[in-house]
Chain A
Amino acid sequence: MAEIYPINIWINEERLSKLQKAGLADMAQEAFAGLKKLAVPTNEHQRDAILKKFPMAKFDSATTKSIELVPREVKDKIFDMVVAKKTLDVMDAFLASI
């Protein structure tokens, strides 16, 4: 099975409110006893495209195998797509939009 490298979108109050309004609150996973996140999956090709497009982002290859430090406004855009499409499977659409 192909490896999945999530982009963790951490749920702040504004994002939580949007998820609740869209009836998607259950989409968020619990993490670290008190946090919620959306783990938006990317495949290897999508991961590399994100890292190239946003050089500030970092693939945490050593510990979490996730893509972190994607700029907040970019995460907001991905988040809004998740809410609009009601699915976490948005990376192709997101990459096509930038």
Chain B
Amino acid sequence: MTEVNNALSPHGGKLVDRVLEPAKGREKARKAKIKLPIDGSRATEIMSIAYGFFSPVEGFMGHKDVDSVCKDMRLTSGYIWSIPIIFDISESEIKAKGLKEGDTLLLTYQNQPFATMDLEEIFSYDKNLMAQKVYGTTEEKHPGVKRTFACKDKFLGGKITLINPPKINPPFDKYWYPPKVLRQKAAELGWKKMVAHQTRNVPHTGHEWLMKGAWFASSADAVLVSCVVGEKRAGDYIDEAIVLTHDALGQTGYFRKGTHLTSILLWDMRYAGPKEAIFHAIVRKNLGCTHHMFGRDHAGVGTYYSPYAAHEIFSQVPDLGIVSVLTLEWWYCPVCGEVTYSGLCGHDKESQAFSGTLIRSIIQDGVKPPRLIFRPEVFDLVTESGEKYGFGSPFVTNEYLARRNPVISVPPMEV
């Protein structure tokens, strides 16, 4: 195994930038003779690669990288990486398009030229092995395993180039900070220490205190809220509500101006627990964060991982150049009369734990949660977001899945 310095920031020492301006993009597109349409997940992964969120990854992984990531949690270059970034395709599509190694592919999205791919490798990989190594299980009820098993039987590996940068649609446009832009903004604001908060939830005060606690623990200048925007399941909060309510915590003074920034990460959660925690740490390091908070059950699902599996994994990897702020949960204590830290409050028997799921349940029952656990401004915005973006519901419905405004729109490009 190559010895490398995993502490370099960005990961690998250099921020990947594979975005071309439209004129150059058009020129590159003209040279790509084979058109291949892609879906939304693939498109957003291409954006994450091209803008450097996934540095040092420069494209979809080939067999050796996939194998190394699955078995050793490292790229073949030696850098730690925990989730394979893959491009699956069927044998029949390969034949129909006549794909072969060495081709340059024009990847189209929303019927427009979007990116090119230098096809370096067409390969197969054992999906059972991939699931077992990444998720620790092959049970299909695990959403990450289900996603792996849904992959077609072949994979394409090769570097990508984004040739037609999409427009980020409102309300997400305000929160789109690619790593280069965010690093610049942090420098302008004089932020030397930034602690990342990973979220796919509307914030309750447990989240708020998790962020504030991590801010104290890391002596950070600011909290970067990194909202995962991606594949949704019925019953989740809609993406718009998540992003807008996090921003509202800063706008309404629960965080002082200049200590809090909301951003988005285009990513379909894999629910890989500890492996996803490593991935989150690397991506947020690439954004310029110096610290990343990890609470209970980070990126977990069901009972596949122990509640603090994401804490334990960081002792098994080299220094990643981003400090993990490991925290226990915040609960409501009727004796203390406040939301308080479970590591300090001794009223275990009286304590009342709460979670995003529990609060969703309260709202779904037509009850307004008290401000101690859910800020009224957040509650109002959840309701408003449902009206404005969710066809009357702040929770994902089939109608939302079918008719929601797209997060990105690819502009027309003549080739």
Is B358 touching A62 in the complex (CB atoms < 8 A)?
no
Q: Answer yes or no: B17 CB below 8 A from chain A CBs.
A: no
Q: Does A46 make an interface contact (CB < 8 A)?
A: no
A23-64: CB near B (< 8 Å → 1, else 0) gives: 000000011111100000000000000000000101011111
Number of A-B contacts (CB under 8 A): 75
Task: Contacts A61-B303, A62-B300, A69-B235 given; indicate if A35 touches B355 (C-beta within 8 A).
Answer: no
Q: Say yes or no: A64 contacts B354, CB within 8 Å.
A: yes
> Is B362 part of the contact surface with A, judged by Cβ < 8 Å?
yes
**Interface size band for B:** 20 to 34
Enumerate chain A residues within 8 angstroms of B343, measured Cβ to Cβ: none
> When the two chains form their complex, are residues A33 and B370 in contact, meaning their CB atoms are under 8 A apart?
yes
Given A8-B361, A12-B366, A56 and B332 contact (CB-CB distance below 8 Å): no
Tell yes or no: B166 within 8 A of A by CB.
Answer: no
Q: With A56-B235, A72-B365 as known contacts, state yes or no: A64 contacts B358, CB within 8 Å.
A: yes
Contacts of B235 in A (CB 8 A): 56, 58, 69
Question: B364 an interface residue at 8 Å Cβ cutoff?
Answer: yes
When distances are taken between beta carbons in the complex, the residues of chain A under 8 Å from B354 are: 32, 63-64
B297 pairs with A10, CB closer than 8 A: no
Are A63 and B303 in contact, with the CB atoms below 8 A?
no
CB atoms of B370 and A35 under 8 A apart: yes
Separation in Å of the A76 CB from the closest CB of chain B? Answer: 9
B187 at the interface (CB under 8 A from A): no
Q: Report Cα–Cα, A1/B362, bound state, in Å.
A: 29
Q: Which residues of A contact B300 (CB under 8 A)?
A: 62
In the complex the two chains form, what is the Cα distance from A66 to B355 in whole Å?
10
8 Å CB contact of B365 from A12, A30, A34, A56: A12
**Contact indicator A68/B357 (Cβ below 8 Å):** yes
In contact, B296 and A35 (Cβ under 8 angstroms): no
Residues of B within 8 A of A72 (CB): 364-366
The proximity string for A residues 55-91 relative to B, scoring 1 for CB distances below 8 Å and 0 otherwise, is: 0101011111010111110010000000000000000
Known: A10-B365, A31-B352, A33-B332. A60 touches B357 (CB 8 A): yes
Q: How many residues of A contact B (CB 8 A)?
A: 26
Residues of chain A with a CB closer than 8 A to B358's CB: 8, 60, 63-64, 66, 68
Q: Among the interface residues A32, A56, A60, which one has the most CB atoms of the partner chain B within 10 A?
A: A32
A8-B361, A10-B361 as given contacts; A32 in contact with B353, CB under 8 Å: no
Partner of B370, one of A32, A58, A63, A68: A32
- For the complex, is A9 an interface residue (Cβ under 8 Å from B)? yes
Contact of A68 with B366 in the complex, beta carbons under 8 Å = no
Q: Is B406 an interface residue (CB 8 A)?
A: no
Complex interface: chain A residues within 8 A of B150 (CB): none
Q: Does B190 contact A (CB under 8 A)?
A: no
CA distance A8 to B365 in the complex (A): 10
**A69 lies within 8 A of B372 (CB):** no
B22 within 8 A of A: no
Interface residue from A30, A58, A71 paired with B357 (Cβ < 8 Å): A58
Identify the closest chain A residue to B296 (Cβ): A62
Chain B positions within 8 Å of A33 at CB level? 332, 334, 337, 370, 372
Q: Which chain B residues (234-253) contact chain A, with CB distance < 8 Å?
A: 234-235
Which of B234, B366, B367 contacts A35 (CB under 8 A)? B367
Given contacts A62-B355, A63-B329, contact A32 B373 (CB under 8 A): yes
Contact B369 A69 (CB under 8 A): no
Q: How many Å from the CB of B340 to the closest CB on chain A?
A: 12
Q: List B contacts of A75 (CB < 8 A).
A: 365
B154 at the interface (CB under 8 A from A): no
Expressed in whole angstroms, the minimum distance between the Cβ of B328 and any Cβ of chain A is 11
Do the beta carbons of B357 and A69 come within 8 Å of each other?
yes
Q: What's the Cα separation between A80 and B44 when bound, in Å?
A: 47
* A73 CA / B157 CA spacing, docked (Å): 49
- B302 interface residue (CB < 8 Å to A): yes
User: Which B residues, 279 to 307, have Cβ-Cβ distances below 8 Å to chain A?
Assistant: 296-297, 300, 302-303, 307
Closest 3 CB pairs of A and B: A34-B370, A62-B297, A68-B361
Q: Which B residues lie at the A interface, using CB under 8 A?
A: 234-235, 296-297, 300, 302-303, 307, 329, 332, 334, 337, 352-355, 357-358, 360-362, 364-367, 369-370, 372-373
> Can you list 19 pairs linking A and B with CB atoms under 8 Å apart?
A8-B358, A8-B361, A10-B362, A32-B332, A32-B352, A32-B369, A33-B334, A34-B370, A56-B235, A60-B357, A62-B307, A63-B358, A64-B353, A64-B357, A68-B361, A69-B235, A69-B360, A69-B364, A72-B364
